[in-house]
Structure 1
């Protein structure tokens, strides 16, 4: 009887290791951390796209963007918009004035006004929405990488966490001359002193809760893959297999 009890105890211990090593379920409590992601889609028939992840911890926000197909060598103003229908404009349907472009203002019914300016340094409030000198610049191949952690207001943080934020990337080189000028698309409807090329949306994505298994980063891997946990789980399963064998032998001896 004592041998059978010992065998059961030996089996229970490694099973505890399995539970400890297994990755957390998506519906398990995650404290005050919320993870969101989006697949960035082109606007204005521009051909830009990519992925973005947002991690929200209280009022602290970490944003990562991986994008391609943007105007090479030019700054691209990026913002989190809140207050619209939490969607991106569909095709050219939002081109109200028929000039061949969906402007930032024309797209606002879909994604709302600017709430956060994704600058590389300095302030991140809506008042910095035209600070092109502090925006990320695409490389010579049109690839853009962005990563920054910053604080936002409580209301903004709550609405981001509720899935109300939409990422919009601006900047199209309509004239194809490697610069933002007034010849390609005229003046911006946000500020007439700024070329519309600098403020017209190039890409857009609605932020939603990140999938349990991580997301495709667009760079050949996934974000948030529980590698260490899976290694621990494999080791624990090996331990369980050994314990089961030992327990079986002990139970057999106890019966004989």
Structure 2
């Protein structure tokens, strides 16, 4: 898994960095508890059509802008593919433009799946990789050995405080996106030529399984 992760990370880094140039969102959110801490909570909603296997998860996230440029992100999700790492990111669109929030099933392409590239026009590019340890830049977009894992029931809990996240001390300008669906339920992100979904490549690179990169949950801003 570790060697495979390094290869995937190298392959997607360029795509993730390229996407991160896309605008910053402004939309409704819950109230701020004080002048020093801005706290925003959102539901995490399923992105995929209901006929996509293993895709109907749910969850919630809280993003807190703390003093001194720190940003705390908490993610809790249920119904994810079990016993697997799930890449998670803060997405956004730097600048004055308003993004289109989270995609839904209608954003699926002709293949019936909402891919990374289908979702990018809605929630923008990667601002921060929500890894559990180490680098948090877009270059760690699929460093699967450093993302939180779901348990045997598909439950995932994640919390990390980031220091000096560029441009995102305002926690109300980001989307949280969770990736990864084990379509065929074999316990791995891998190609399976006999499965109509697991046989497909990622929209980022034909050498990467769609399972590893496909978005499953999204929340934040205007959703």
Q: TM-score range by the shorter chain?
A: 0.7 to 0.9
The match for 1:78 is 88
TM-score, normalisation: structure 1: 0.65
SS of match in other structure, 2:119: helix
**1:49-102: CA deviation from partner (whole Å, max 9, x where unpaired):** 1111111114211111111000000110011100172511122x2223x11210
Cα deviation, residue 27, structure 1: 7.0
Structure 1 counterpart of 2:40, from 28, 36, 41? 36
The match for 1:102 is 114
Change (3 A) 1:123 1:173: same
Give the whole-Å Cα distance in 2 for the aligned partners of 1:187 and 1:122. 28
Q: 1:192 aligned to 2:206?
A: yes
The match for 2:124 is 112
The match for 1:143 is 155
Say whether the 8 Å CA contact 2:130–2:136 is kept in structure 1: yes
Correspondences of 1:229-244 after superposition (within 5 Å): none
The match for 1:239 is none
Give the whole-Å Cα distance in 2 for the aligned partners of 1:176 and 1:120. 25
TM-score, normalisation: structure 2: 0.74
Say whether the 8 Å CA contact 1:36–1:207 is kept in structure 2: no
Say whether the 8 Å CA contact 2:100–2:122 is kept in structure 1: yes
Give the whole-Å Cα distance in 2 for the aligned partners of 1:123 and 1:207. 25
The match for 1:157 is 169
Give the whole-Å Cα distance in 1 for the aligned partners of 2:165 and 2:215. 25
Stretch moving more, 41-50 or 60-69: 41-50
Say whether the 8 Å CA contact 2:108–2:115 is kept in structure 1: yes
**1:24-63: CA deviation from partner (whole Å, max 9, x where unpaired):** xx677x2332101110111213111111111111421111
The match for 2:219 is 205
Say whether the 8 Å CA contact 2:100–2:121 is kept in structure 1: no
Say whether the 8 Å CA contact 2:88–2:130 is kept in structure 1: yes
The structure carrying a bigger helix percent of its residues is 1
The root-mean-square deviation of aligned C-alpha atoms, in Å, is 1.9
Cα deviation, residue 182, structure 1: 1.9
Say whether the 8 Å CA contact 1:40–1:52 is kept in structure 2: yes
Uncovered stretches (5+) of structure 2, i.e. residues with no partner: 1-30, 193-197
Uncovered stretches (5+) of structure 1, i.e. residues with no partner: 1-25, 209-256
The match for 1:55 is 64
Structure 2 counterpart of 1:90, from 94, 98, 104? 104
Change (3 A) 1:37 1:90: same
Moved over 4 A (4+): none
Report how many aligned residue pairs link the two structures.
177
**1:129-185: CA deviation from partner (whole Å, max 9, x where unpaired):** 011110110000000010111124342334xx3x22111100011122221112214
SS of match in other structure, 1:157: coil
Give the whole-Å Cα distance in 2 for the aligned partners of 1:114 and 1:185. 26
